[in-house]
Chain A
Amino acid sequence: ETGVTQSPTHLIKTRGQQVTLRCSSQSGHNTVSWYQQALGQGPQFIFQYYREEENGRGNFPPRFSGLQFPNYSSELNVNALELDDSALYLCASSSRDGTGELFFGEGSRLTVL
């Protein structure tokens, strides 16, 4: 069974740039969620995708957007990066027919200078 994988693991951007983070969901999972974890904080829900459509969104501005592909992998895009976007971005997959448990990847650490 393949777990959740994320890429890249680390990246550095400057203010105003755009970034794309990628996630491959665990085999058999059809739902992907994205979380932002700032240093010293708990993860905050960004949004969730199910069957290629956004299915729930947290308190994040529209410059945070995403996609889910037919193979259930997903992308998180952030435009017009701000310093406060520096964080660990976690992807989690789950199955709608399952227990609701989320399986997390190891994250992508974004630093905005």
Chain B
Amino acid sequence: AQSVTQLDSHVSVSEGTPVLLRCNYSSSYSPSLFWYVQHPNKGLQLLLKYTSAATLVKGINGFEAEFKKSETSFHLTKPSAHMSDAAEYFCVVPTSGTYKYIFGTGTRLKVLA
């Protein structure tokens, strides 16, 4: 069975400093993996997706993630945090056939001025 584990429920960074949100996955085969962002009182927006084409994936708003099979990780990074990045971030693995998404428990990112 596939699953994702987000290692931090809350992360606080200062504006302008790097962001690291950690996600480990478990899968019996090489999975697709997504990161979604949810701003307060908003729906979920796709940040980026890994579908086995390239291990380093670039997304919107300067975010990127690297798929590391040896570490079963798919951590989300951004070189410099902006106040508008404050939100909840979800690591997601779709099940085979992609009809069902399995979400991590989320990481709430706080950006300090």
Contact = CB atoms under 8 A, between A and B. Distances in A.
Interface in A37-76: 40-45, 48, 50, 55-56, 58
A58 B43 contact: no
Interface in A1-59: 4, 31, 33, 35, 40-45, 48, 50, 55-56, 58
Contacts of A104: 36, 43-45
Interface residues of A, number: 27
B51 A99 contact: yes
Nearest to A45: B100
Contact of B99 (A4, A56, A106): A56
Interface in B54-113: 90, 94, 98-106
A44 B98 CA distance: 15
B32 interface: yes
A58 B49 CA distance: 23
Interface centre among B98, B101, B104 (most CB of A within 10 A): B101
Nearest to A106: B43
A40 to B, nearest CB: 8
A91 B71 CA distance: 33
A90 interface: yes
B46 A107 contact: no
A107 B34 CA distance: 20
A90 B44 contact: yes
